[in-house]
Every structure is written in structure tokens, then in C-alpha cells.
């Protein structure tokens, strides 16, 4: 029968190049090293190490055994790390969901800080809010960052939901558009003849607010392209011939575009953090705190106010 210590000895000899070096590395006596090596060679019926005046090298068979031994030892180390992470942080692998712009703008720093100094691994799922809500409810995700869809969302008592920030909508114009040179807010009524880019889905809140606002102004947006990829939207707007209403979190640099605040109150999408109801694992609780702090910082950058309790107030950059 194999003994894990035999595999540790074989790897230590390969790393250090001698039995004496392996003894120092493992804090064993050299007779112990020789014993475990001899037992492994006897069990396999093969010579695994060739002793030389300058040290020790593994034979071809020894290298073959080392490959398997390294896999076994790595898996055992992973078991130890997973158990330690589960006991210390509530999970060994943190399964997080987010919509695209949150995954790139909100989560990276918050996840780094929440998991710093731990062995917790991260699995990220990028998806639309409806799917993320369903997967969090089914507990295939520990938590998720979503935006509200269809107005007042009803999540149910089995989910804990909290607001992170209101992500205001901005008007995206080609840099060459005459209104791009205008200082201050832009009236959507002046864009009645423009082509518009909207999302592919029917539930996107930016589309809902765009159509409702334009209807109140007496026109219906002329849709020239549908896309859920904000890089594509920026590219087509930069090329001219189309404009779009996008959340500020989705604004990208490196495109020949200009973002403007609309004259009309087009509101914002509410970005939220959700997890299953009940006491969360410690690492999920830390992630929630980091996301709340990141949300407050972004809200201030957007021109909003945060009261003494840390709750974001209205966007005042108009």
C-alpha cells in the first residue's frame, strides 16, 4: 500500500537533487528518507532513484511515478486548502454572478479585497438579471449583482436584496454630432430624427425609459440597430448615424463618442446585490460590504449624494 510520505520523499529528492537535501526539506532524518524511498521501490518493484557521488537523480520510472505522485500531492493540498477556506470563510469556491458591466467595473476590486489573504477560489457567471435571480434562488450562486428590470422588482422572502447605486442614463452621441459641442444637457426632442440603438431584449430598463420619454415628447425612436454589447454600441455610435441611451457604468473610453446628460429626467437603473436569505458565509458578507463601498464611491462620482447612513441619494448632475 502506498504511503503519502513516500510520494513526498520522492518529490523532495527530485527538487533538491539528493537524499540529504530531501531530509532537510522535509525535516526528516536521512535514515527516514532512505526508509520511505526503499519501501516505495520495493512496493513497485523498480528502482526509482539513482545515487551518484554528486547527489541523486530520478530514473525514467522514477520520473513516471513522480508525475502521478505530484498529482496526488497537489490534490491533497487542495483538500486541505478547501477545508481551511470552508471553515474560515464559509465557502471554498465563491460562485458569483453579475451582468457584464458590473463584472468589469464593480466586481474586480471588491472581490480582490473580500478574498484577500484567503484560499477562496472564485467562479464568475456573466448573465442577464433574470437568469442571475433564478440561479441565486436555486443556490447555484452564492450571490449576484443585478440591475432591476421592469420597474419595482419582487424578489420574494427567499432572497436578500440591497441597493448598491443608481446608475444614471446618459445620451451617447458621435463626437462629430453638432450637439456634442453643446455644453450642458441635451434635449431628447432635438434627436427625434436620429436613428437609435437599443437592446435585443424587451425588458431592458434603458429601452423602457427611452420609449416612455420619447412618447411624452411626441415621437417614437427610429430603431436602426439592436445590440446588448456596449462595445458594439459605442463603435456604431462613433461611426455616426445613430445615438443611444446607455447607463453611465457602461460608458467606455477609446471611442469617438461623447456622453451627455439629457434635459429630460430619464432616471437610472438600480444596481443591486442579492443573495439567498439567511446568514451569509463570511466571505459573501465581506463582498457585500465592499460592493456597498464601491457603489457609494461611484454614486458620488456620478454627482449623487450619500447621506450619513451611507444610503445613496438622487443624482444631481443635471
Residues 278 and 148 in one domain: yes
Residues 178 and 211 in one domain: yes
Residues 149 and 281 in one domain: yes
The whole-angstrom separation of Cα 114 and Cα 120 is: 10
Total-model pTM: 0.67
Over residues 50-64, the pLDDT tens digits come to: 988 888 999 999 999
- Unique residue bearing C-alpha cell 420619454: 213
Number of domains in the chain: 3
The whole-angstrom separation of Cα 209 and Cα 307 is: 27
Domain carrying residue 62: 4-89
pLDDT of residue 187: 95
Residues 179 and 222 in one domain: yes
How many residues in total does the chain contain? Answer: 318
CATH number of the domain that residue 139 is part of: 3.40.190.10
- Helices 282-301 and 60-89, axial angle in degrees (round to 10): 70
Q: Where are the alpha helices (DSSP H) in the chain?
A: 4-16, 19-26, 30-44, 60-89, 100-105, 107-115, 129-137, 205-216, 230-239, 282-301
Q: Which of 89, 108, 130 is the last residue of a domain?
A: 89
- List the grid coordinates of 311: 444610503
Residues 158 and 293 in one domain: yes
Other CB atoms within 10 Å distance of the CB of residue 209:
19
Q: Which of 45, 63, 89 is the last residue of a domain?
A: 89
pLDDT of residue 90: 61
Residues 177 and 217 in one domain: yes
Over residues 115-161, the pLDDT tens digits come to: 998 888 899 999 988 899 989 998 899 999 999 864 445 678 889 99
Q: Which of 48, 66, 89 is the last residue of a domain?
A: 89
pLDDT of residue 108: 93
Residues 290 and 156 in one domain: yes
DSSP code for 262: B
Residue 309 has pLDDT above 50, yes or no: no
pLDDT of residue 149: 63
**78 CB contacts (<8 Å, ≥6 apart)?**
none
Question: Helix, strand, or coil here: 169?
Answer: strand
Residues 276 and 156 in one domain: yes
The whole-angstrom separation of Cα 296 and Cα 298 is: 5
Residues 153 and 274 in one domain: yes
Residues 156 and 302 in one domain: yes
The whole-angstrom separation of Cα 6 and Cα 36 is: 5
Residues 80 and 197 in one domain: no
Helix (H), strand (E) at residue 254? none
The whole-angstrom separation of Cα 243 and Cα 236 is: 9
Average pLDDT in the chain: 87
- Percentages of the chain per state (helix, strand, coil), in multiples of 5: 45, 25, 30
Reported confidence tier of residue 171, pLDDT bands at 50, 70, 90: very high
pLDDT of residue 197: 96
Residues 161 and 280 in one domain: yes
Amino acid at each position: 500500500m502506498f504511503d503519502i510520505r513516500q510520494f513526498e520523499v520522492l518529490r523532495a529528492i527530485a527538487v533538491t537533487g539528493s537524499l540529504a537535501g530531501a531530509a532537510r526539506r522535509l525535516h526528516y532524518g536521512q535514515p527516514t528518507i532512505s526508509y520511505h524511498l526503499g519501501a516505495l521501490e520495493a512496493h513497485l518493484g523498480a528502482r526509482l532513484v539513482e545515487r551518484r557521488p554528486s547527489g541523486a537523480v530520478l530514473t525514467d520510472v522514477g520520473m513516471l511515478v513522480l508525475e502521478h505522485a505530484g498529482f496526488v500531492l497537489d490534490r491533497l493540498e487542495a483538500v486541505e486548502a478547501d477545508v481551511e477556506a470552508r471553515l474560515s470563510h464559509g465557502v471554498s469556491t465563491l460562485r458569483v454572478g453579475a451582468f457584464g458591466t458590473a463584472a468589469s467595473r464593480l466586481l474586480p476590486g471588491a472581490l480582490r479585497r473580500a478574498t484577500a489573504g484567503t484560499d477562496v477560489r472564485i467562479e464568475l457567471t456573466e448573465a442577464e438579471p433574470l437568469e442571475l435571480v433564478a440561479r441565486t434562488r436555486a443556490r447555484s450562486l452564492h450571490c449576484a449583482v443585478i440591475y432591476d428590470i421592469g420597474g419595482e422588482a419582487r424578489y420574494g422572502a427567499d432572497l436578500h436584496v440591497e441597493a448598491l447605486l443608481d446608475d444614471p442614463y446618459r445620451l451617447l452621441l458621435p463626437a462629430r454630432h453638432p450637439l456634442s459641442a453643446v455644453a450642458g444637457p441635451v434635449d431628447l426632442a432635438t434627436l427625434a430624427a436620429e436613428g437609435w440603438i437599443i437592446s435585443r431584449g424587451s425588458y431592458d430598463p434603458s429601452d423602457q425609459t427611452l420609449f416612455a420619454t420619447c412618447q411624452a415628447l411626441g415621437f417614437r425612436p427610429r430603431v436602426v440597430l439592436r445590440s446588448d454589447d456596449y462595445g458594439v454600441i459605442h463603435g456604431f455610435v462613433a461611426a455616426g448615424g445613430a445615438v443611444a441611451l446607455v447607463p453611465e457604468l457602461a460608458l467606455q473610453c477609446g471611442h469617438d463618442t461623447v456622453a451627455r446628460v439629457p434635459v429630460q429626467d430619464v432616471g437610472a437603473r438600480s444596481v443591486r446585490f442579492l443573495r439567498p436569505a439567511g446568514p451569509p458565509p463570511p466571505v459573501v458578507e465581506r463582498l457585500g460590504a465592499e460592493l456597498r463601498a464601491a457603489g457609494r464611491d461611484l454614486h458620488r462620482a456620478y454627482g449623487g449624494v450619500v447621506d450619513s447612513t451611507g444610503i445613496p441619494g438622487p443624482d444631481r448632475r443635471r
